[in-house]
Amino acid sequence: MERNNILSVQQSRDSDFIREVEEASGQNVSKCYQCGNCMASCVYTFAYDYPVTQIMRLIQLGQRDTVLSSRSIWLCANCQACTTRCPNNIDVAQVMEALRIMTRQADTVSQPDIQAFYDEFLRSVKTFGRVFETGLLPVYNMRVKKPFTDFDLAPRLLKKGKITFFPALVKNRKKIAEIFEVTKRECFSKAGKARPEPLSSKTDT
Ligand code: SF4
Ligand code: SF4
């Protein structure tokens, strides 16, 4: 397993970066006083290149390139443990979400396989009204160029009824697809062009 990087601040400070992250996330990152509660709560600290506390500090220091190319952003499971335990009521998980969106815009996604999973999961929900695993997995595998990953599990899962050959018929699938469109429109109309592109926008079929 790769280890956390040593925090070193080498880039010149990008003073616009913290403002952009605060606008995108709606959170006051400046209030973070580095208590470390978020890092201590995070189950993925062992796998991150920069623990979440350091991500917050790097944002304060305007280290745009380091933050937007970090592995941590895409390994984050959005579990909210950091948010729950922050004594300053910073929604840290929301900051991580905003950073993921910003990396898409900057084209610096460090974990394209994870991005592909997000995209295909949302595309499946938008199309079928709920995720259709049997359709999702082959498409995802092809997209990440690992066509046979977990293929051997399919017969057992089918036999146990965990997955099905055909998607479930969810009522009002069109309404669910509309939620994606409305969410996308609202994101842009509320915050204007400066607002990062919503995740679902790249799942359009
Ligand atoms: S939301 Fe992300 S950063 Fe926060 S505790 Fe969960 S995995 Fe860690
Ligand atoms: S828990 Fe809150 S105040 Fe403490 S380091 Fe994390 S973001 Fe900063």
Give the percent of the chain with pLDDT over 90: 54
Distance 93 CA to ligand 2 centre (A): 11
Give the range among 3-12, 78-87, 180-189, 190-199 with minimum mean pLDDT: 190-199
CA–CA gap between residue 202 and residue 111 (Å, rounded): 16
Distance 171 CA to ligand 1 centre (A): 33
Amino acid symbol at 92: V
What are the φ/ψ torsions at residue 59 (nearest 5 degrees)?
-65, -45
Of 135, 176, 178, the closest CA to residue 154 belongs to: 135
Nearest ligand to the CA of 81 is 1
Confirm or reject: Cβ of 37 under 6 Å from ligand 2: yes
Question: CA torsion sign, 34 to 40 to 44 to 50?
Answer: positive
pLDDT of residue 64: 94
User: Does the reported pTM lie above 0.95?
Assistant: no
Contact indicator for 115, 75 with CB cutoff of 8 Å: no
pLDDT of residue 196: 45
Distance 185 CA to ligand 1 centre (A): 28
**3-state secondary structure at position 204:** coil
When pLDDT is cut at 50, 70 and 90, the band that residue 195 belongs to is: very low
User: What contacts 24+ positions apart, CB below 8 Å, involve 123-126?
Assistant: 123/203, 123/205, 125/176, 126/176, 126/177, 126/180, 126/200, 126/203, 126/205
Task: Give 15-30 pLDDT, tens digit per residue.
Answer: 899 999 999 999 999 9
Domains in the chain, CATH or no CATH each:
15-106 (1.10.1060.10), 112-203 (no CATH)
Task: Give 99-108 pLDDT, tens digit per residue.
Answer: 999 999 888 8
Task: Give 168-178 pLDDT, tens digit per residue.
Answer: 878 888 888 89
- Can you give 55-67 as a three-state secondary structure string? HHHHHHCCCHHHH
pLDDT of residue 8: 63
Closest CA to ligand 1's atom 1: 78
Q: What is the secondary structure of 20-87 as a DSSP string? A: HHHHHH---GGG-----HHHHH-TTTTT-SS-HHHHHHHHHTT-HHHHHT-SHHHH-----HHHHH-T
CA–CA gap between residue 133 and residue 121 (Å, rounded): 9
pLDDT of residue 165: 87
Q: What letters, b where the CB count within 10 A reaches 16 and e where it falls short, cover 63-73? A: bbebbbebbbb
pLDDT of residue 1: 53
Write out the two tokens for 73: 């952003």
pLDDT above 80 (res 68):
yes
Confirm or reject: Cβ of 101 under 6 Å from ligand 1: no
| Mean pLDDT, rounded, for 127-147 | 90
pLDDT above 60 (res 200):
no
